[in-house]
Amino acid sequence: MLSNSSILITGGTGSFGHTFVPMTLAKYNPRRLVIYSRDEMKQWEMAKLYGNDDRVRFFIGDVRDKDRLSRALNGIDYVVHAAATKIVPTAEYNPFECVKTNVFGAMNLIDACIDQGVKRIVALSTDKASSPVNLYGATKLTSDKLFIAGNSYSGFSDTRFAVVRYGNVMGSRGSVIPFFLTLAQKGALPITDDRMTRFMITLEQGVDLVWHAFEDMVGGEIYVKKIPSMKLLDIAIAVAPDAIHEIVGIRPGEKLHEQMISFEDAPHTYEYPKHYKILPAINNWSADPERINGGKKVAADFTYCSDNNIEWMSIEALRTWIEQNRKNIGKI
């Protein structure tokens, strides 16, 4: 589907973009892959990685700017929406800015994609959008709802929208593993709560889920990959086995456990070998055989949370992953 196509990724200089771009170039050989973001320095640094590869283009712009988005989307077939204000405390203390990017930015992208005749759009979401307790989660839930409704909003056009949702991305910039690694030599690690659990997913798995969404989507689906959980305490032990643990308390807006599928979503959720799919409650789309596509409906009381997960990552497995990926952890 993506072969010989034109693809644009918003927020493309972030952790996801740094993995999505080389993997997609290698697998699909798109005609054009546009990185759309607002940070010129990050674009300049990323451009050096691709030399004279004329498939890779860079476009300075902000998702808050609908006119600039519209210009960038001219001739684009597929869009991955990765731009967001993502850090939970940052969103709590800068709520207006978070809403402008995560909500108004989503609205701008939906309008611009429809106007420009983009074929398929996959938006990246987060576990925090399921039963949100913080502003970041609330804005991403709003964004998810907007992208789902965009399939009706697009009218008779062929533009279709879907969402992928996953948890803590292992080793990404600003996440817990690189944070612990920077403190490991000091002999003490801050632990918010020793009961805390998190989902664990690699950037490569995240890219694979986006590819699957493009191939499978009819419009309005939320894809949730099956991934392991891990206790925060075990992550700390894997990073620095001899470090002292200092309990510092949960930060504003933070959850004890992550959730990706809520009890309320269960009536519209289907299971597949490697993922779940939440279908839209609107327009009776959750009963559409084409969207269900052979899935098995989950139990009425089903939830998918990091503390009730049946798959867990061991300390040894994480320690092996860290050693294999140490040079890239926290770099992108």
Q: SS3 letters for the chain? A: CCCCCEEEEECCCCHHHHHHHHHHHHHHCCCEEEEEECCHHHHHHHHCCCCCCCCEEEEECCCCCHHHHHHHCCCCCEEEECCCCCCHHHHHHCHHHHHHHHHHHHHHHHHHHHHHCCCEEEEEEEHHHCCCCCHHHHHHHHHHHHHHHHHHHCCCCCCEEEEEEECEECCCCCCHHHHHHHHHHHCEEEECCCCCEEEEECHHHHHHHHHHHHHHCCCCCEEEECCCEEEHHHHHHHHCCCCEEEECCCCCCCCCCCEEECHHHHHHEEECCCEEEECCCHHHHHHCHHHHCCCEECCCCCCEECCCCCCECCHHHHHHHHHHHHHHCCCC
Active site residue 66: no
Provide the mean pLDDT of the chain: 95
pLDDT at 57: 97
Q: What is the pLDDT of residue 156?
A: 87
Q: Among residues 42, 86, 128, 231, which one is catalytic?
A: 128
pLDDT at residue 155 in the model: 87
Whole-prediction pTM value? 0.95
Q: What is the pLDDT of residue 328?
A: 83
Cα–chain center distance at 90: 18
Q: Cβ(199)–Cβ(168) under 8 Å?
A: yes
Q: In the chain, which residues have pLDDT < 50?
A: none
Strand partners, 168: 200
CATH classification (class only), 6-166+203-226+260-303 = alpha beta
Q: For residues 225 and 308, is the Cβ–Cβ distance under 8 A? A: no
